[in-house]
């Protein structure tokens, strides 16, 4: 797969996650990314009435990763270098 196809796939995934039904738009909800699972084996996740699987809730790691995605995409849009775990601080000379 070419870099262009990977970039397009990333943009499509980002657009999907940053809109309904995945992004919480309710001012009363305390999370950002909906439909994440906290701990399925212990049954700690919210299962709406009439459904068999958990949905509609957020978790702190889902919110963390959607925030990181938004930050990375902002850096791509601004044509700034992206962060990497092995070099988490940007090279400020290139900004």
pLDDT at residue 1, rounded to an integer: 60
Position 94 in a domain: no
The total number of structural domains that make up the chain: 1
55 CA to centre of own chain: 16
Q: What is the CA radius of gyration of the chain?
A: 17
Q: Model confidence over 53-92: pLDDT tens digits?
A: 888 889 898 999 999 899 888 888 898 877 776 666 555 5
Position 21 in a domain: yes
Place of tokens 């270098």: 81
Position 89 in a domain: no
Position 80 in a domain: yes
Burial level of 75, CB count in 10 A (0-12/13-18/19+)? middle
pLDDT at residue 72, rounded to an integer: 87
Q: Would the pLDDT of 95 be above 90?
A: no
Mean pLDDT on 24-43: 89
Structural domain span for residue 21: 3-84
Mean pLDDT on 32-42: 88
Position 91 in a domain: no
Mean pLDDT on 10-36: 92
Question: What percent of the chain is predicted at pLDDT more than 70?
Answer: 86
């Amino acid at each position: 797969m070419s870099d262009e196809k990977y970039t397009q796939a990333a943009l499509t995934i980002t657009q999907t996650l940053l809109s309904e039904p995945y992004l919480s738009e309710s001012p009363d909800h305390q999370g950002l990314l909906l439909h994440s699972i906290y701990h399925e084996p212990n049954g700690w996740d919210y299962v709406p009435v009439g459904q068999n699987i958990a949905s509609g809730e957020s978790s702190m790691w889902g919110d963390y990763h959607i925030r990181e995605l938004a930050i990375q995409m902002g850096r791509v849009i601004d044509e700034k270098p992206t962060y990497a775990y092995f070099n988490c601080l940007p090279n400020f000379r290139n900004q």
